[in-house]
Structure 1
Amino acid sequence: MIREKIRKEVSLDKTIVERLKIQALEDGRSLKNYLEKILADKANEDFEITEVYKKMMDEMLEKREKGELKFISEEEFRASIKRK
């Protein structure tokens, strides 16, 4: 499966970059690959769908089925938050 990737520019202190280069070499990786790995690991380590979240989503889906939710278009939303 091919994943869509997004490029982001990050500015880091020179000392931090040097430390990360050393850690990347110790791990047998390029700096770029090492940064991608540690960021992906960090993003995935704490991610867990809790029971509270599941309950909230179930309630929202039930409200949607019953027609109790009111949706507006993006255009309507932008108009409602536009400064006067």
Structure 2
Amino acid sequence: MRLMQKYRMRTPSTGREVIIAVDPEKVYIDRDTGEVLEPVAQLLPLAPTASELPWAIENLRFCDHCDQLAQKDLVECPWCGHRMATLID
């Protein structure tokens, strides 16, 4: 279970981005430039969540019961609570 919210963080001078779970009381520094990273966006699903996958089309599937989108790594649908079918890769 992920308790910390993941953010997309950017280095202002280079535009380099990283995705990290952020503690709001800490300041994050780019290891190459030494600049403070700026938050660009929160990643969905919002914490707390059972999924480690961000909501991107390649990480989602439809629930067999309610036809809502859910992360591929979840066993139960977060919307209806039913167990989803096993994925075969």
User: Do they superpose with TM above 0.5?
Assistant: no
Q: Could you say which TM-score interval applies, normalised by the shorter chain?
A: under 0.3
Rg comparison, structure with higher value = 1
**Which structure is richer in relative contact order (CA contacts within 8 A, separation 6 or more)?**
2
Give the structure with the larger helix fraction: 1
